Amino acid sequence: MWHWFKKKKKENPYFWEEYCVYFSAKAKKNSLDRLVVFDCETTGLDFKKDVILSIGALAIVNFRIILKDSFECFITQENYKSNQIAIHGILKEGKTEKISESEAVISFLKYIKNAVLVGHHISFDIAMINAALKKMGLPKLKNKSIDTDALFQKYKSLSPEQHTTLDALCEAFKVPKSDRHTASGDAYLTALVYLKLKAKM
């Protein structure tokens, strides 16, 4: 009768199991070399307390930005900080359709699949997604990642402590800073910077 007291294995939701399938050996072998550049607009810089306002992402395949393969969502806010509108421009209400954080994360997982994730100071954006996953009782993201700041450090032989802003990289590589401080806009700028960096390296 000992098996009556055996701890039952937790069953993860279907969307998580579907996401995990992309990391099997067979799926990796048959997958395209797809990168996903993404950015999160958030209420602050503390992933333990702050939350995601929006997620923007687009794909790179064969060193080409694929605009039709993109992702964007805005998240409903319970504790809205109106003093930050000047930075991200996201209103609590308005005409923009908003979804719950869990719906946003589920959609994001379906979009990224097993792509390598690219971002500027990407560890923060990944931490925000992981924090949202934790609230859903799920493990962390499985995707590999590339940080454009770290790439620039390597390119310029800088120390790990010498960080560079996205604005500075745009200026260094003559990338026009349009639509700055929106998730989709920053993802696009980061994609352009990434491609210019790879071409130089």
Query: Between helices 122-135 and 101-112, what is the axis angle to 10°?
Result: 120
Q: What residue type is 110 in one-letter code?
A: K
**Is 152 in contact with 160 (CB distance < 8 Å)?**
no
> 41: helix, coil or strand?
strand
Q: Which of 196, 188, 141 is nearest to 172 (CA)?
A: 196
Q: Which of 69, 76, 74 is nearest to 113 (CA)?
A: 69
- Domain extents in the chain: 14-21+31-200
C-alpha–C-alpha distance, residues 101 and 177, integer Å = 28
For the record, the structure tokens of 56 come out as 């923007």
Q: What residue type is 5 in one-letter code?
A: F
Q: What is the 3-state secondary structure (H, E, C) of 108-175?
A: HHHHHCCCEEEECCHHHHHHHHHHHHHHCCCCCCCCCEEEHHHHHHHHHCCCCCCCCCHHHHHHHCCC
Q: Which of 107, 29, 33 is nearest to 66 (CA)?
A: 33
Phi-psi region of 21 (alpha: psi -120 to 50; beta: other; left: phi over 0): alpha
C-alpha–C-alpha distance, residues 49 and 55, integer Å = 18
| Superfamily the domain 14-21+31-200 falls into | Ribonuclease H-like superfamily/Ribonuclease H (3.30.420.10)
Q: What residue type is 85 in one-letter code?
A: I
**Going residue by residue through the chain (201 aa), what tens digit of pLDDT does each one get?**
455 555 556 788 999 999 999 998 766 655 668 999 999 998 888 888 888 999 999 999 999 999 999 999 999 887 555 544 434 444 445 557 889 999 999 999 999 999 999 999 999 999 999 999 999 999 999 999 999 999 999 999 999 899 999 999 999 999 988 767 689 999 999 999 999 999 998
